[in-house]
Amino acid sequence: MRVLLAEDDELLGSGLRAGLRQQGFQVDWVRDGHAAACELNTGNYLVAVLDLGLPRLDGLDVIAQTRARGVSTPILVLTARDAVPARIAGLDAGADDYLIKPVDLHELAARLRALVRRAHDQPTRCLRVGAVVLDPASHQVTVDGQLVEVGGREYDLLHTLMLNAGRVLSRAQLEQQVYQWGHEVSSNAIEVHIHHLRRKLPADTIETVRGVGYVVHRPLAP
Ligand code: CA
């Protein structure tokens, strides 16, 4: 899961980034509100963590601008313990959740997963397509109940495809969702990971849509 982190406090920011990475998130960290608004506008993030007190552009204005542009990426705001009016203003501006500093990293990770689930109309903890079940909390993938070993990048790819089941995603869209900044992405990286995934999953799980991209199909309603 690719997360945008907007926090101007160096110590807190680096702690959050390290902690979220440990929880399996891909984290891009910006330190001011203007950069946060620009990055959110790309739509490349599944979810964002936003400090409200940011230089250059206030966190509330970041939220307002983002929502005004029609970007619906879920946003969790970080606020100080006594900042009740700021929290209310954040939620009213279009934030989806908040946490009070200091933040418990496990709680933050769980809330981010819940926000992503909600944004994708996914009511339960696990994603399921046919015999394949993916658990975002434990990062485990099973096929017919049997654990399957998938690498980190393969897991992120499968997670992205399953979250968007029924939607064809292009190679570029998958790259944006799966790679954080600073990663050299070779031109056939996605194809290679898909190839590896296919050897581990039932044959028809990931379909290639020629000239467009890849899709996993929603399970048919019973
Ligand atoms: Ca701040």
pLDDT in tens, 137-157: 899 999 999 999 998 889 999
Give distance in angstroms: CA of 178 to centre of ligand 1: 28
Which residue carries 């909600």 as its tokens? 118
Together in a domain, 90 and 189: no
Together in a domain, 85 and 143: no
Give distance in angstroms: CA of 137 to centre of ligand 1: 29
pLDDT band of residue 81 (cuts 50, 70, 90) is: confident
Together in a domain, 77 and 135: no
Together in a domain, 131 and 158: yes
Give distance in angstroms: CA of 92 to centre of ligand 1: 20
What are the DSSP E strand ranges found in 7-119? 26-30, 47-51, 75-79, 97-100
Q: Tell me how many domains the chain contains.
A: 2
| Domain boundary, last residue among 67, 90, 119 | 119
Give distance in angstroms: CA of 38 to centre of ligand 1: 18
221 occurs within a structural domain: no
pLDDT at 222: 54
pLDDT band of residue 206 (cuts 50, 70, 90) is: very high
Together in a domain, 50 and 139: no
pLDDT tens-digit map of 41-75: 998 899 999 999 999 999 999 999 999 999 999 99
Give distance in angstroms: CA of 191 to centre of ligand 1: 40
Domain range for 88 is 2-119
Q: Yes or no: say if 38 and 73 are a contact pair by the CB < 8 Å rule.
A: no
User: In residues, how long is the chain?
Assistant: 222
| Domain boundary, last residue among 119, 135, 160 | 119
Structure token pair of residue 102: 């200091």
Q: What protein residues have CB closer than 5 angstroms to ion ligand 1?
A: 8, 51, 53
Q: Yes or no: say if 144 and 190 are a contact pair by the CB < 8 Å rule.
A: no
β pairing state of 97-100 and 75-79: parallel
Structure token pair of residue 198: 């296919």
pLDDT at 221: 58
- What pTM value is reported for the model? 0.87
